[in-house]
């Protein structure tokens, strides 16, 4: 038989074990009641329409209240009016777990929305074919025609191009000018930086820049030493690369985007 001492010991041990369990259960109950009380208190501060909107986003009253408070601060002043409550709460998540939860909710919402959009688009396409089987969706002939940009050149224009060696910007503009040689009466190239007596250096420069000798012989392109011409024509304000269009007696500076 179990002695009275052992019985007493077992009873004390059982009580000692049950007390922490009862305390833990009581703590969880109190916490749940507190949270329910706080949620109830928050719900009472929200309007009926706000509660409906919160439910439409599957948010609790507490979450909706936090969203409202965030929108009254910096988030509301810098965000578009179309930002969703899920995005606001996710951006201002208080820990990684909360951030991931809102991210998953948003990803699921976007996936569902894309599915709805595609389904409606397919239904719309099918309806168009059913109602108007012999008509194109868009009558291209009724679209306004794109206005052509007026050319900066006339066939009797002459272009003056001022450049210097070892100038990437000059090389870029020259390549564009060479494509427009036939649109004008010709191109006069003035080179700065070569000795005025060194014609061979000018010819070498022309060769390395793919200037067809036939253009030079036909005077479609002329190769010249600058000799101060740019300063004279621009009153010292011209900087290479520089383009002038001569039309009759008129000179007009051109920009790169005019080419």
Q: Kindly report, residue by residue over 146-202, the tens digit of the pLDDT.
A: 665 666 788 889 999 999 998 999 999 999 999 888 888 999 999 998 888 889 999
Sign of CA dihedral 50, 54, 60, 66: negative
Q: How far apart are CA 177 and CA 159, in angstroms?
A: 9
Q: Which domains does the chain have, with CATH numbers?
A: 46-108 (no CATH), 158-258 (3.40.30.10)
> Going by DSSP bridges, is the β-strand pair 221-225/186-191 parallel, antiparallel, or unpaired?
parallel
Strand boundaries in 111-164, DSSP class E: 158-163
State if pTM tops 0.85. Answer: no
Q: Kindly report, residue by residue over 69-127, the tens digit of the pLDDT.
A: 999 999 999 999 899 999 999 999 999 999 999 999 999 999 999 999 999 999 999 99
Q: How far apart are CA 163 and CA 192, in angstroms?
A: 6
Residues 163 and 190 sit within 8 Å (Cβ to Cβ):
yes
Q: How far apart are CA 48 and CA 35, in angstroms?
A: 21
Distances in whole angstroms, Cα of residue 233 to Cα of each of 88, 136, 190, 193, 236:
62, 58, 12, 18, 8
Q: How far apart are CA 6 and CA 124, in angstroms?
A: 83
């Amino acid at each position: 038989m179990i002695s009275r001492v052992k019985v007493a010991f077992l009873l004390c041990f059982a009580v000692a074990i049950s007390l922490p369990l009862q305390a833990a259960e009581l703590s969880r109950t109190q916490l749940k009641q507190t949270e329910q009380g706080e949620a109830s208190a928050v719900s009472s501060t929200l309007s009926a329409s706000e509660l409906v909107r919160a439910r439409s986003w599957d948010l609790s009253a507490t979450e909706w209240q936090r969203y409202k408070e965030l929108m009254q601060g910096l988030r509301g002043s810098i965000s578009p009016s179309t930002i969703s409550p899920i995005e606001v709460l996710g951006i201002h998540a208080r820990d990684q777990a909360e951030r991931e939860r809102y991210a998953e909710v948003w990803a699921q919402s976007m996936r569902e929305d894309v599915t709805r959009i595609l389904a409606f688009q397919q239904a719309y396409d099918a309806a168009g074919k059913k109602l108007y089987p012999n008509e194109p969706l868009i009558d291209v002939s009724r679209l306004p025609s794109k206005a052509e940009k007026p050319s900066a050149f006339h066939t009797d224009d002459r272009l003056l191009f001022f450049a210097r060696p070892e100038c990437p910007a000059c090389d870029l503009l020259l390549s564009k000018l060479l494509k427009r040689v036939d649109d004008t009466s010709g191109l006069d190239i003035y080179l700065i930086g070569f000795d005025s007596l060194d014609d061979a250096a000018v010819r070498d420069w022309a060769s390395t820049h793919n200037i067809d000798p036939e253009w030079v012989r036909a005077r479609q392109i002329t190769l010249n030493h600058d000799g101060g011409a740019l300063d004279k024509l621009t009153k010292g304000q011209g900087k290479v690369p520089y383009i002038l269009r001569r039309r009759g007696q008129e000179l007009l500076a051109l920009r790169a985007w005019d080419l």
